[in-house]
């Protein structure tokens, strides 16, 4: 399928997509803050610039978009236009995610990942359940958390 806009317009559109303050991230941030958790945003001193860093709890949390991070759920579909480019780009994103998590873990941080499909789409969990799982993990001291949509 051919692209319906010119390469210049597509480039401008793609440049407008930012990696911070995404809707899944904002949903988590607002709910966790309301639950009494305090955090730092996008700390550049840590590998992978986690979306939320909870210094007192030595925990870092990522809100991953299913498309950009190549999640195996219904929200991810490889684009038909330039599939090789997208396959490589998403593979690099996944490698970067794994590398950041390994580096964080090696330096004593706990890592949590909440996937977009847990918050929206046909496999979404009730928002209160997602926040409750995040809160329980933050309080528990467990090393790892992954929340994904119900299959």
Concatenated DSSP letters of 83-135: HHHHHHHHHHHHHHHHHHHHHHHHTT-EEEEEEGGGTSSTTPPPHHHHHHHHH
| 66 pLDDT higher than 70 | yes
| Mean of all residue pLDDT scores within the chain | 93
pLDDT bracket for residue 136 (50, 70, 90): very high
What pLDDT score was predicted for residue 135?
A: 97
Kindly report the number of other CB atoms within 10 A of residue 37's CB atom.
21
At a CB cut-off of 8 Å and minimum separation 6, what does 17 contact? Answer: none
pTM tops 0.75: yes
pLDDT, mean of residues 105-109: 97
pLDDT of residue 22: 86
Confidence of residue 90 (pLDDT cuts 50, 70, 90): very high
Domains of the chain, with CATH numbers?
19-147 (3.40.960.10)
pLDDT score of 88 more than 60: yes
**pLDDT reading at 137 higher than 70:** yes
């Amino acid at each position: 399928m051919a692209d319906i806009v010119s390469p210049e317009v597509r480039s401008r559109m793609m440049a407008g997509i930012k990696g911070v303050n995404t809707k899944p991230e904002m949903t988590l941030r607002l709910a966790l803050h309301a639950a009494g958790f305090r955090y730092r945003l996008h700390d550049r001193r840590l590998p992978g610039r986690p979306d939320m860093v909870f210094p007192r709890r030595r925990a870092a949390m990522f809100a991953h978009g299913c498309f950009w991070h190549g999640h195996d759920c219904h929200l991810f579909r490889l684009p038909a236009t330039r599939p090789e480019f997208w396959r490589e780009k998403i593979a690099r994103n996944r490698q970067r995610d794994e590398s950041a998590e390994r580096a964080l873990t090696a330096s004593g941080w706990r890592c949590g990942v909440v996937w977009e499909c847990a918050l929206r789409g046909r496999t979404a969990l009730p928002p209160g359940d997602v926040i409750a799982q995040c809160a329980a993990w933050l309080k528990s001291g467990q090393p790892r958390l992954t929340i994904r949509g119900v299959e």
